[in-house]
Amino acid sequence: MSGGVDSSVAAALLAEQGHDVIGLSMQLYDQSGAQSFGSCCTLDDLHDARRVASALGFPHYILNLERQFADTVIANFVNEYVSGRTPLPCAHCNSELKFSTLVERARGLGAQHVATGHYARVEQTPDGRWLLRRSRDLDKDQSYFLFSLTQDQLARAVFPVGSLTKPAVRAEARRLGLRVADKADSQEICFVPDDDYASFVETRAPSVRSGAIVDTRGETLATHAGVHKFTVGQRKGLGVAAPTPLYVLKIDADSGDVMVGPRSALDRSTFTASRVNWISREAPPGWSAATVQIRHRQRAAPGRVRAIDSGRAELEFDTPQPAVTPGQAAVFYDNDIVVGGGWID
């Protein structure tokens, strides 16, 4: 329970249905107030979660997962930026905290399932496999962030708001008399203050690689203070004057080169992904048709996917797509069913 409306309603609906509910909130960073941190899971949010539990009459506890959060999500976040990649911390938080540490803790307390406020659906097939599907609210769908869940994790996951739209969730919150009914949605990346990723990385990385901004022929156009300040597809803040807009095409953390070029050069048809999770069955041999989503809040585009060596997959779009960004997830769907996903190389 983050203290937001989605997880509050998720817990409240289960309690109302007569389930034996235990509310758990994760404290993810130091709340002593000396340092300003993120925008989600603050002390106020944790108190909101507590008040929801208290209003509905089930117990609520705050788990201190600061160390685990720092060791997994934040370490990965910093490391990815330093490596010239663009991290996706919410997906790591799901697979490494919510559906691992939190699930383990919950099992220790005798809980059969762990429910969250995610907009996604879990279903079991007649032959016993667990399917992950998109939310009914496609604007809010979070299945993209959940692609790395295993069958065991899905078997224990419950998403009570996954079949609802956001307005319906807010309406439920009002019906239940929850004071969080009109609370604003949280930021996508909760732990970075003021959206200032660069400073966040700089204070935590041992060193950052500075280098040159180069064009597609390798000519230096300018210098820059660190590869962590760039993401593929970025147009603003390049510090280069050019007659036509330039976009970041490629980041090489070893040399420090950030390659820029015109919008048309961003498009790609084929790419690979690593640590691929085929959610409900073994990877099929050869190519399968799929729609492929390469970032949150972006429509999946038609294409195909096939497994290649050592947990990797090759993906191909029917029509080239802009800004295939290393570090983000490539999640492939069969209609609204998540077939699998991996990390873009």
Partner 1 sequence: MQRIYLDHNATTPPSPAVIEAVAAVLREELGNPSSLHYFGQRAKALLDGARTDVATLLGADPSDIVFTGGGTEGDNIAVRGIAEALEPSGRRHIVASAIEHEAVLNTLKALSRRGWRCTLLSVDESGIVSPDALRDAIGEDTALVSVMHANNEIGTIQPIVELARIARERRAIFHTDAVQTAGKVPIDVKALGVDLLSISAHKFYGPKGVGALWARRGLRLQPAITGGKQERGRRAGTENVAGIVGMGVAAREALAKMAAESSRIGELRDRLETTILARVPGTARNGARDPRVANTTNLSFDRTEAESLLIALDLEGIAVSTGSACSSGTLEPSHVLKAMGLPAHRTQNSIRFSLGAANTDADVDRVIAVLPGIVEKLRSLTRPAVGSRQ
Write down the least CB distance from residue 68 to partner 1, Å: 6
Three-state DSSP class for residue 288: strand
Residue type, 199: S
Q: How far apart are CA 251 and CA 230, in angstroms?
A: 8
Distance in Å, CB of 100 to partner 1, minimum: 9
Tokens for 230, please give them: 């760039």
180 in Cβ contact with 54 (< 8 Å)? no
Contact window for partner 1 (CB under 8 A) among 80-88, 105-113, 205-213, 229-237: 105-113
Taking CB under 8 A as the binding criterion, the range among 107-115, 116-124, 152-160, 187-195 that sits at the site for partner 1 is: 107-115
Instruction: Supply the DSSP symbol for 322.
Output: E
Q: Is 40 a catalytic residue?
A: no
- Smallest separation (angstroms) from partner 1 to the CB of 107: 5
Nearer to partner 1, 108 or 128 (CB): 108
190 among known catalytic residues: yes
Q: Which of 54, 75, 104, 237 binds partner 1 (CB under 8 A)?
A: 104
How far is C-alpha 40 from the chain's CA centre?
14
In the complex, minimum distance from the CB of residue 190 to partner 1, in angstroms, rounded to a whole number: 17
* Nearer residue to partner 1 within complex by CB, 20 or 185: 20
| Binder of partner 1 out of 35, 54, 75, 107 (CB under 8 A) | 107
Do 176 and 17 meet the contact criterion of CB atoms below 8 Å apart? no
The 68-87 contact track toward partner 1, x by CB under 8 A, reads: x--x----------------
Minimum CB distance to partner 1 smaller for 22 or for 181: 22
Helix axes of 5-16 and 43-56: crossing angle, nearest 10 degrees: 20
Q: Which of 197, 173, 198, 196 is nearest to 185 (CA)?
A: 173
Q: What's at 180, amino acid-wise?
A: V
From 2-10, 106-114, 271-279, 309-317, span contacting partner 1 (CB under 8 A): 106-114
Q: Which of 17, 67, 244, 319 binds partner 1 (CB under 8 A)?
A: 67
Instruction: Round to whole Å and give the CA distance between 6 and 208.
Output: 37
**Residue 275: CB minimum distance to partner 1, A:** 21
Helix (H, G, I), strand (E, B) or coil at 296: coil
Total site size for partner 1, rule CB under 8 A: 20
Query: What CA–CA distance (Å, rounded) separates 55 from 57?
Result: 6
Instruction: Provide the 3-class DSSP secondary structure of residue 342.
Output: strand
Q: Kindly identify the residues of this chain, within the stretch 6-65, that bind partner 1 according to CB under 8 A.
A: 22, 27, 31, 43, 46, 50, 59, 61-64
Rounded least distance, CB 333 to partner 1, Å: 32
| Identity of the residue, 39 or 234, whose beta carbon is nearer to partner 1 in the bound complex | 39
Shortest CB 132 distance to partner 1, Å = 24
Among 57, 110, 126, 286, the residue binding partner 1 under the rule CB under 8 A is 110
Please identify, using beta-carbon distances, which residue of 27 and 83 lies nearer to partner 1: 27
Paired tokens of 31? 């709340």
Cα 70 off chain centre by: 16
Cβ closest to partner 1, residue 3 vs residue 327: 3
Q: Where are the beta strands (DSSP E) in the chain?
A: 23-27, 60-64, 114-115, 120-124, 130-134, 157-158, 211-214, 220-224, 247-251, 258-261, 267-278, 288-293, 301-307, 313-322, 329-334, 337-344
Binding of residue 155 to partner 1 (CB under 8 A): no
Q: Are strands 329-334 and 313-322 parallel, antiparallel or unpaired?
A: unpaired
Report the interface residues with partner 1, using CB under 8 A. Answer: 22, 27, 31, 43, 46, 50, 59, 61-64, 67-68, 71, 104-105, 107-110
Active site residues: 93, 190
